[in-house]
Amino acid sequence: MSVGRYFGFWLTLALVLAAGLMPFLTGSGTMREQMSTLLMWVTLASSLNILLGYTGYVNFGHIVFFGLGGYGGFYLLSRHGWPLYAAAAAGGIFSVTLAGILGACILRLRGACFALATIGINEAARAFVSNFAPFGGSTGLYVNFSVYRQYGGASRALWIVYASLLAVALATVAVSFLVKRSRFGLGLMAIREDEDAALVMGVRAPRMKTIAYMLSAFFPGVVGVLYFFKNGNVEPGDAFRLNMSIETMVMVMLGGQGTLMGPVAGAVAYERLRSYLITSPLFKNLHLAVAGLSLLLIVLFIPAGVLGWLRGRFPRLRRVLE
């Protein structure tokens, strides 16, 4: 793959890799935890962009795949002794399977009806898990501390999880790029611009939307398992936070929906703002209000996001800002 022709892709990948390697170079546990959170957001935003950015479907239930995939993988890990990587892969596959089933039903809807349906799925998933005995009901699941010995102790396990998060974030960016540059991606963008016209032109919209929905579900499921393994437990309240879906959407739209670098830049910018707000005595209870206000301002003034605006204002930057 030519570096010059795909400069924007390589630049995005290099920036994520360079930032992700910093904790390894410094050995700082604090930086590792900060970057773990950031890489999780990069993965969630880039995966959501496959459906929201390329296909134009607003999904308020993206966090369902993080929660249910995380629950599924964590259950195999904590109750059946599966290795971390196998459990993480199973979490991703579980999310993809769920997305395939849900997508066949709700992707018949469009616009506000689809968005409302995804909110309902999030609440239904939370209620189901809260009453599902194998998943621990309302108290959730936890992992026995002795499990961490398999990975050289709790401290080393945290570094293993971090390295895995970095690899997943890079893979998500790469898959997002491959989708965007593929014939499949062109079909998704045709659906985004005018679904009826795309159908007339021969685009198999129902099938392509379902595949996009399934692709966007895989990486949150993997990250969910890694995140809950790092925490040592999983509970319904942590797994299905609607505000995480909204914040992920803000990141995509802030950076630029439908671009490769936009969700990454949006995740970095919003996470920095979020970190400041939740540690500020004055604004610590207002960060969700800021997320809502940000979404409103973006929709009103820069609907294409910061990168979209830059690409439109300065055409020469389009090769760099993929």
pLDDT tens track for 151-204? 888 889 999 999 999 999 999 999 999 999 999 999 999 999 999 999 998 889
Is 269 in contact with 255 (CB distance < 8 Å)? yes
Residue 223 pLDDT greater than 90, yes or no: yes
Please tell me the predicted confidence (pLDDT) of residue 292. Answer: 77
Average the pLDDT over each of 15-29, 75-89, 184-198, 299-313 and give the range with the smallest value: 299-313
Q: If pLDDT is split at 50, 70 and 90, which confidence band does 265 have?
A: very high
Please tell me the predicted confidence (pLDDT) of residue 4. Answer: 64
Please tell me the predicted confidence (pLDDT) of residue 287. Answer: 72
Q: Read off the amino acid at residue 96.
A: V
Q: If pLDDT is split at 50, 70 and 90, which confidence band does 305 have?
A: confident
Neighbours of 258 (CB within 10 A): 22
Q: Can you tell me the mean pLDDT for 126-143?
A: 90
Please tell me the predicted confidence (pLDDT) of residue 112. Answer: 85
Please tell me the predicted confidence (pLDDT) of residue 291. Answer: 73
What's the rounded Cα separation, in Å, for the pair 302 and 292? 15
Share of the chain above pLDDT 70, in %: 99
Q: What is the mean pLDDT of the chain?
A: 90
Please tell me the predicted confidence (pLDDT) of residue 274. Answer: 83
Please tell me the predicted confidence (pLDDT) of residue 302. Answer: 82
Task: Give me 175's structure tokens.
Answer: 């898959």
Q: Can you tell me the mean pLDDT for 101-118?
A: 88
Residue 2 pLDDT greater than 70, yes or no: no
Residue 1 pLDDT greater than 80, yes or no: no
Is 45 in contact with 251 (CB distance < 8 Å)? yes
* Nearest in space to 170 (alpha carbons), one of 10, 7, 5: 10
Share of the chain above pLDDT 90, in %: 59
Residue 222 pLDDT greater than 80, yes or no: yes
- Distance of CA 56 to CAs 125, 173, 231, 264, 287, Å? 24, 18, 34, 18, 26
* Nearest in space to 62 (alpha carbons), one of 251, 301, 203: 251
Q: If pLDDT is split at 50, 70 and 90, which confidence band does 44 have?
A: very high
